[in-house]
């Protein structure tokens, strides 16, 4: 069934939903016009986009409870980065959770149902209408799959019980949030670097423009690239941890160890794949490609004890710690070997991410170029990964005359979607 955006007017507030690769958030405008940010995860607004299916209790946990259960070693299945599946062939596949073969679509729906229920519990009434954020590109360079991704997202929200659904681009939503704080007309490049995508928009903002329904003439350009924090984690894992398991290790025949197992282990939704019977067999046979058998033994320990997600989570923690403190941060690998302490440092991170960050900066520059302007007044930064210092440095070098303005890293898109929703319902 083809999902169609349902634009018919219906009473009630519009819930702005930022369904993120790493974190989700939601907000709506109250009858008094005040922004009401939903406490989706305990008291916190940002809820990890994660589900955990416990084999022990046969229950499903969401958000940080899902992450905690998984990291505490509860037997079960963790699903993260489910947004990355939208538009991909994996979306049509089934996965085994709680002993049942479940379509990925149902898992996305389950997440939306939970999000909706938590919001309704907070406001105390049903919420029928949703303004969903979407990245500029779910899928790069493939308009058909990109349209399919939006369609799937809409159908999942519909299956979760929303009857009226609309979409807005995530960077435009971030811009609407920023607009609440501008006091004069401003040309902004809004930069939203999240977990899965980096999205840009050049937009004309101003206090007197806020209530305008049709903002298309103010949106001067949008660009986006399918690169974000989960890619940075993958690259840091490949450069800092996987060599300890044999990645780039040269074997007795003078050739490096085949690398597919390392790529699987570094990608959230492929880690499970590395543990399949076929891949385990392949990995066992890899011993002949190793000059140092201790590295192969370690690889097999990671696979047999299924430490892939734990390692990747440890890399992300170290990335964030290093990014915030600018000091070296250790990747926790004690469960493998006490003596194994790889450090992520500012220079080693800059080096591992250089190419990816350059792609992100090029995409930002393309956005300015596509707007027809030669410069912007402000570069407004949002999304968790916008805190990365090497990225901020590179953006400032690329746009020396613009003022870099760090914004609300995690709540801005949901807030902007709520503003967009309120204007659309006038
Ligand atoms: N201080 C930090 N420095 C660097 N990266 C960070 C920091 N804090 C969070 N991140 C990263 O930000 C990402 C999550 O950001 P965010 O919540 O904005 O993404 P998202 O909205 O879920 O993803 P997307 O918008 O791409 O779908 C994660 O990859 C996380 O590791
Ligand atoms: Mg986001």
Report residue 341 as tokens.
């302490």
Handedness of CA 307, 312, 315, 320 (dihedral sign): negative
In this predicted structure, what is the pLDDT of residue 276?
Answer: 93
Block residue for tokens 């949703």:
130
pLDDT digits (tens, 9 = 90+) for 193-252: 999 999 999 999 999 888 787 888 899 999 999 999 999 999 999 999 999 999 999 999
- Distance (Å, whole) CA 379 – CA 69: 39
For the CA atoms of 189, 196, 310, 238, what is the dihedral angle to 10 degrees?
A: -90
pLDDT digits (tens, 9 = 90+) for 372-424: 999 999 999 999 999 999 999 999 999 999 999 999 899 999 999 999 999 87
Return the residue whose CA atom lies nearest to atom 1 of ligand 1.
320
In this predicted structure, what is the pLDDT of residue 3?
Answer: 53
How is 125-190 classified by DSSP, letter by letter? S---EEEEEE-S-SSTT-HHHHHHHHHHHHHHHHHTT-SEEEEEEHHHHHHHHHHTT--S-EEEEE
**Does residue 21 have a pLDDT over 50?**
yes
Handedness of CA 103, 22, 194, 388 (dihedral sign): negative
* Ligand number nearest to the C-alpha of 231: 1
**Does residue 98 have a pLDDT over 60?**
yes
Return the residue whose CA atom lies nearest to atom 19 of ligand 1.
194
> Which residues are 103's β-sheet partners?
94
Residue 41: C-alpha distances to residues 60, 71, 90, 250 (Å)? 15, 17, 28, 46
Q: pLDDT band at residue 88, thresholds of 50, 70 and 90?
A: confident
- What spacing in Å lies between the alpha carbon of 387 and ligand 1's midpoint? 9
More confident residue, 6 or 410: 410
**Does residue 108 have a pLDDT over 80?**
yes
pLDDT digits (tens, 9 = 90+) for 330-359: 999 999 998 999 999 999 999 999 999 999
pLDDT digits (tens, 9 = 90+) for 38-73: 999 999 999 999 999 999 899 999 999 999 998 888
| CATH architecture, domain defined by 14-183+408-424 | 2-Layer Sandwich (3.30)
- What spacing in Å lies between the alpha carbon of 157 and ligand 2's midpoint? 17
Secondary structure of 172-212 as H, E, C letters:
HHHHHHHHCCCCCCEEEEEEEECCCCEEEEEEEECHHHCCC
In this predicted structure, what is the pLDDT of residue 141?
Answer: 85
pLDDT digits (tens, 9 = 90+) for 290-332: 999 999 999 999 999 999 989 999 999 999 999 999 999 999 9
Nearest to 170 by CA among 197, 202, 135: 135
Would you say 233 and 264 are in contact if contact means Cβ atoms under 8 Å apart?
no
Phi, psi of 391 (to 5 degrees): -70, -45
Average pLDDT over residues 3-22: 76
Block residue for tokens 């319902």:
425
| Helix (H) / strand (E) containing 355 | helix 346-371
How is 58-103 classified by DSSP, letter by letter? --EEEHHHHHHHHHTT-SEEEEE-GGGGTTSGGGGSEEEETTEEEE
Three-state secondary-structure class, residue 121: helix
Nearest ligand 1 atom to alpha carbon 413: 21
Q: Using alpha carbons only, what angle is made at residue 408 by residues 62 and 322, rounded to the nearest 5 degrees?
A: 80
Three-state secondary-structure class, residue 414: helix
Q: 10 Å Cβ neighbour count for 162? A: 22
Q: pLDDT band at residue 426, thresholds of 50, 70 and 90?
A: low
Q: Output Rg (C-alpha) for the chain, integer angstroms.
A: 22
- What spacing in Å lies between the alpha carbon of 146 and ligand 1's midpoint? 22
Q: 10 Å Cβ neighbour count for 166? A: 18
Average pLDDT over residues 74-84: 90
Distance of CA 389 to the CA centre of its chain: 19
Q: For the chain, which residues make up each domain, given as ranges?
A: 14-183+408-424, 230-350
Q: Per DSSP, which regions of 328-421 are E strands?
A: 329-330, 343-344, 378-382, 403-406
pTM of this structure: 0.90
pLDDT digits (tens, 9 = 90+) for 158-202: 999 999 999 999 999 999 999 999 999 999 999 999 999 999 999
Return the residue whose CA atom lies nearest to atom 2 of ligand 1.
320
Report residue 319 as tokens.
């990335």
- What spacing in Å lies between the alpha carbon of 323 and ligand 1's midpoint? 12
Task: Name residues contacting ligand 1 (CB within 6 A).
Answer: 20-23, 83, 170, 194-197, 228-230, 316, 319-320, 323-324, 383-385, 387-388, 410
Helix extents (H) in 193-276: 229-240, 260-265, 271-274
Residue of 48, 50, 194 with the most ligand 1 atoms within 8 Å of its CB, for mutation: 194
In this predicted structure, what is the pLDDT of residue 7?
Answer: 46
**Does residue 8 have a pLDDT over 60?**
no
């Amino acid at each position: 069934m083809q999902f169609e955006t349902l634009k018919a007017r219906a009473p009630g507030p519009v819930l702005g939903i930022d369904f993120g690769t790493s974190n989700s958030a939601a907000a709506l405008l109250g009858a008094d016009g005040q922004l009401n940010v939903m406490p989706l995860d305990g008291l916190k607004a940002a809820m990890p986009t994660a589900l955990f299916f416990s084999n022990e209790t046969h229950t499903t946990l969401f958000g940080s409870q899902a992450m905690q259960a998984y990291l505490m070693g509860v037997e079960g299945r963790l699903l993260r980065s489910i947004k990355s599946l939208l538009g991909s062939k994996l979306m049509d596949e089934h996965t085994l959770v709680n002993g049942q073969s479940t379509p990925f679509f149902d898992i996305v729906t389950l997440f939306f149902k939970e999000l909706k229920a938590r919001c309704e519990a907070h406001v105390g009434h049903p919420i029928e209408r949703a303004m969903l954020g979407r990245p500029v590109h779910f899928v790069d360079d493939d308009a058909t799959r990109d349209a399919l991704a939006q369609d799937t997202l809409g159908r999942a929200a519909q299956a979760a019980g929303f009857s009226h659904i609309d979409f807005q681009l995530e960077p435009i939503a971030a811009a609407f949030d920023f607009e609440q704080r501008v006091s004069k007309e401003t040309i902004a490049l809004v930069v939203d670097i999240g977990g899965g995508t980096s999205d840009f928009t050049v937009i004309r903002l101003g206090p007197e423009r806020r209530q305008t329904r049709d903002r298309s003439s103010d949106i001067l350009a949008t660009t986006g690239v399918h690169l974000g924090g989960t890619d940075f984690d993958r690259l840091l894992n490949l450069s800092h941890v996987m060599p300890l398991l044999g990645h780039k290790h040269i074997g007795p025949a003078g050739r490096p160890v085949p690398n597919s197992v390392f790529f699987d282990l570094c990608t959230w939704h492929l880690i499970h794949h590395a543990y399949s019977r076929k891949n385990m067999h392949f990995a066992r046979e890899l011993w002949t490609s190793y000059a140092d058998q201790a590295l192969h033994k370690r690889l097999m320990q990671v696979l047999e004890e299924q430490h892939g997600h734990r390692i990747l989570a440890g890399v992300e923690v170290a990335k964030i710690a290093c990014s915030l403190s600018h000091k070296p941060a250790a990747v926790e690998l004690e469960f493998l070997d006490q003596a194994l302490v790889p450090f992520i440092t500012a220079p080693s991170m800059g080096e591992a991410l250089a190419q990816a960050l350059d792609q992100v900066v090029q995409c930002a520059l393309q956005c300015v170029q596509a707007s027809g302007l030669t410069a912007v007044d402000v570069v407004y930064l949002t999304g968790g990964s916008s805190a990365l210092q090497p990225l901020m440095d590179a953006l400032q070098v690329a746009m020396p005359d613009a003022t870099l303005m760090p914004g609300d890293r995690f709540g801005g898109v949901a807030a902007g979607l709520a503003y967009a929703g309120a204007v659309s319902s006038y």
